[in-house]
Amino acid sequence: IGQTGGGGGGAGGALAITSESSVVQTYTVTIGSGGAGRSSSNGSGTSGSNSVFSSSTSIGGGGGGSHSSASGLARSGGSGGGGGQDISGASGTSGQGNSGAAGRGQSPWAAGGGGGKGADGGNSDSSGNGGAGGVGLDWLSIGTYYAGGGGGGGVDGSGGLGGLGGGGRANSSAGTGTDGSPGTANTGGGGG
């Protein structure tokens, strides 16, 4: 999760593995941790770490950006982080996720949503509301979603909703000024 006005965090990369051997053996599985939200008005969030199963690696989600082009650029990842205010969103990894959206570059200010496995992050709007996180993957088409993007911060309006699949909702500077919500544990969702 990041401070208000920051772009939404990108979801962790999602892979569907269907061709692994059925031989009974020990597999090494590494579960990557989520990245930290930005801790200053000009910084960006850090990207999450990778998850590994056998020979397959899912790239950690990209960190959201701020309004500073010098130190607050959104970060690429499995899905890309959203841009803060007037900064572009970052790209996702092909086959694993989608791109974050750019923030609104004029008043009323707002940030873009982080990318999810199923869609790019949503754009902020002309009322200063943050963009929604991109929707995640509907696993086996049974209505259970993973890897949704985090919502972008609303600077002059409401924070964006998290993407279906564990994405965290963002908050607004105009309201309480509190930080956004983290992604839901064990879903690969990005923070708001």
Kindly report, residue by residue over 39-76, the tens digit of the pLDDT. 666 677 888 899 998 888 999 999 988 876 666 788 99
**Statement: residue 116 has pLDDT above 60:** yes
Query: Which stretch of 40-44, 88-92, 130-134, 179-183 has the lowest confidence by average pLDDT?
Result: 40-44
C-alpha–C-alpha distance, residues 65 and 103, integer Å:
9
Helices (H) and strands (E) in the chain, counts: 0, 5
**Residue 95 near residue 76, CB atoms below 8 Å:** no
**Statement: residue 179 has pLDDT above 80:** no
Q: What is the pLDDT of residue 36?
A: 81
Going by C-alpha positions, the residue among 82, 72, 47 that lies closest to residue 153 is 82
**pLDDT-based confidence at 27, cuts 50/70/90?**
confident
C-alpha–C-alpha distance, residues 96 and 47, integer Å:
15
Type of residue at 53 = F
Q: What is the pLDDT of residue 143?
A: 87
Neighbouring residues of 117: CB distance < 8 A, sequence distance ≥ 6: 11, 13, 14, 78, 79, 96, 97, 98, 134, 135, 136, 137, 146, 147, 148, 165, 188
On average, the pLDDT of the chain sits at: 85
Bridge-partner residues for 146, per DSSP? Answer: 137
pLDDT cut 90: percent of the chain above it: 42
Q: Please tell me the pTM assigned to this model.
A: 0.87
Q: What is the pLDDT of residue 142?
A: 86
Q: Is 20 exposed, middle or buried (0-12, 13-18, 19+ CB in 10 A)?
A: exposed
* 15-43 average pLDDT score: 75
Neighbouring residues of 191: CB distance < 8 A, sequence distance ≥ 6: 1, 2, 8, 9, 34, 37, 45, 64, 150, 168, 180, 181, 182, 183
Q: What is the pLDDT of residue 87?
A: 79
